Amino acid sequence: MVTLQELTQYTNTFLQVDRFRDYCPNGLQVEGVDHVHSIITGVTASQALLDVANDQQADAILVHHGYFWKNEDLRIVGIKRKRLATLLRNNISLLAYHLPLDAHAEIGNNAQLARLLGLQIDGVLQSAAQTVCGTYGHLKQAVPAEKFKRLIDSILQRNCTHVNAGPANIENIGWCTGAGQGFIELAVEQKLDAYISGEISEPTAHVAREAGIHYYAAGHHATERYGIQALGEHLAQKYDLSHQFVDIDNPA
């Protein structure tokens, strides 16, 4: 068991939330009961996830995609009203960690994807504005690009979209979980063989072809399942909490 205050303080420090300028508040977003015995983790604080947490009588929910995004409608109506009502009526806290959870060196989404795909991390992909936009690294041994697609498919349980535009065998790879397709140009600058993210946009295919780099769109949801899960396990161990990761599947 842990107090909500300690859980929040510890997690904020662990994920170094102060280092990030983000599009949403990181940390405690909705306050519930003072003492936390059980937590539920999930990728997104959707109504389906809240309903499971409520059925399981969880004290707190931790997610990667929470609420209160920059430029969203400020009014508490419709879907947002229903979600907040579920949390407040049942005294369930919501903690959300966006960019700090992508970037964390051990339990972060990018680090966890590397672990799953057997990638050794060499450095971060950084934009001109000095924001971290992903990671790059290498495979122990070069593999055929098509074989690597099948590896992604089997590990993430998803038929990933492969723009087959680079060398036959790949070794140096960049990646950024979620909607990081726009950062493919950083991978090009770094002269990598391939770049992986969650989604694909129309221009991504042209950039890949014209720069001669493979692009794998492995699923926004699928690439971001692992950070929050690892965070939940870490907290459960540290504070002796019951923890369940709930995968509300998403085709995106």
Q: Binders of Zn ion: how many residues, by CB under 5 A?
A: 1
Spell out the SS3 assignment of the chain. Answer: CEEHHHHHHHHHHHCCHHHCCCCCCCEEEECCCCEECEEEEEEECCHHHHHHHHHCCCCEEEEEECCCCCCCCCCCCHHHHHHHHHHHHCCCEEEECCHHHHHCCCCCHHHHHHHHHCEEEEEEEECCCCCEEEEEEEEEEEEEHHHHHHHHHHHHCCCCEEECCCCCEEEEEEEECCCCHHHHHHHHHCCCCEEEECCCCHHHHHHHHHHCCEEEECCHHHHCCHHHHHHHHHHHHHHCCEEEECCCCCCC
Segment lying near Zn ion (by CB under 5 A), choices 23-31, 71-79, 174-182, 229-237: 174-182
146, amino acid identity: E
65-82 b/e (C-beta count within 10 Å ≥ 16 → b): bbbeeeeeeeeeeeeeee
Kindly tell me which of 156 and 211 has the beta carbon lying closer to Zn ion.
156
Binding status of residue 227 toward Zn ion by CB under 5 A: no
Binding status of residue 66 toward Zn ion by CB under 5 A: no
Segment lying near Zn ion (by CB under 5 A), choices 89-97, 130-138, 140-148, 173-181: 173-181
Contact of 244 with 56, CB cutoff 8 Å: yes
Binding status of residue 166 toward Zn ion by CB under 5 A: no
Nearest distance from C-beta of residue 169 to Zn ion, angstroms: 30
Nearest distance from C-beta of residue 76 to Zn ion, angstroms: 23
Segment lying near Zn ion (by CB under 5 A), choices 5-13, 129-137, 177-185, 236-244: 177-185
Kindly tell me which of 108 and 178 has the beta carbon lying closer to Zn ion.
178
Among 178, 180, 227, 232, binds Zn ion (CB under 5 A): 178
Nearest distance from C-beta of residue 193 to Zn ion, angstroms: 25
Nearest distance from C-beta of residue 102 to Zn ion, angstroms: 8
Nearest distance from C-beta of residue 178 to Zn ion, angstroms: 3
Contact of 133 with 176, CB cutoff 8 Å: yes
Kindly tell me which of 32 and 108 has the beta carbon lying closer to Zn ion.
108
Kindly tell me which of 117 and 165 has the beta carbon lying closer to Zn ion.
117
Nearest distance from C-beta of residue 191 to Zn ion, angstroms: 27
Kindly tell me which of 93 and 110 has the beta carbon lying closer to Zn ion.
110
Nearest distance from C-beta of residue 179 to Zn ion, angstroms: 6
Question: Which residues contribute to the site for Zn ion (CB under 5 A)?
Answer: 178
